[in-house]
Copies of this chain bind each other. A is one copy, B any other.
Amino acid sequence: MARGGMEARAQTQVKTPVVGKHVYGELYGVDEKLLQDEGRLRQIVIEAAHIANMHLVEVNSWRFKGGDKEGVSVIALVLESHIAIHTWPTYKFATVDVYTCGEHSDPMSAFRYIVSQLSPKRFTVNYSDRSYK
C-alpha cells in the first residue's frame, strides 16, 4: 500500500504544465516531382495534423526556383507548435519536423504518415521532449 502511494505521488510530480513532443528527421531518395508539388505537400501536412490530433491554425507554403536552392517549404502553425517540411528536389531530399503540444497529440503518427506519403528510400527519425521540466 505504501509503495502504491509513492508511485501515485511520483506520477503527480512528473506531471508538467506544458507537454511538448518534437519528432523530426531527414528523408532521402524521394521522387523529385513530388518534392516540387507545393499543393500536394500542403495537403499532406494538413492530413498529418488531423492524424496527430493537432489543432491546425494556419498553413503557409512557398516554392523557390533556381539552382540548388530550388524546393518547397510548408510550415503549419498548430496550437501551439508547428509542422514543417522543407524539400530539395535536386537531391531528392526533404526534412520533416512535427512538433506538437498537449498530452493527446501524437506527433509520431503524423511523422509516419508524412513518410508513407513521400515514400523515401531511407529516412532518419529523432525525438525531443520539449515539455516544461
Contacts and interface: CB of A to CB of B under 8 A. Distances in A.
Interface residues of A, number: 38
A81 B91 contact: no
Interface string A1-40: 0000000000000000110101010101000000000000
A84 interface: yes
A103 B38 CA distance: 26
Contact of A73 (B77, B95, B133): B77
B68 A57 contact: no
Interface in A65-84: 68-69, 71, 73, 75, 77, 79-82, 84
Interface stretch (A42-50, A113-121, A124-132): A124-132
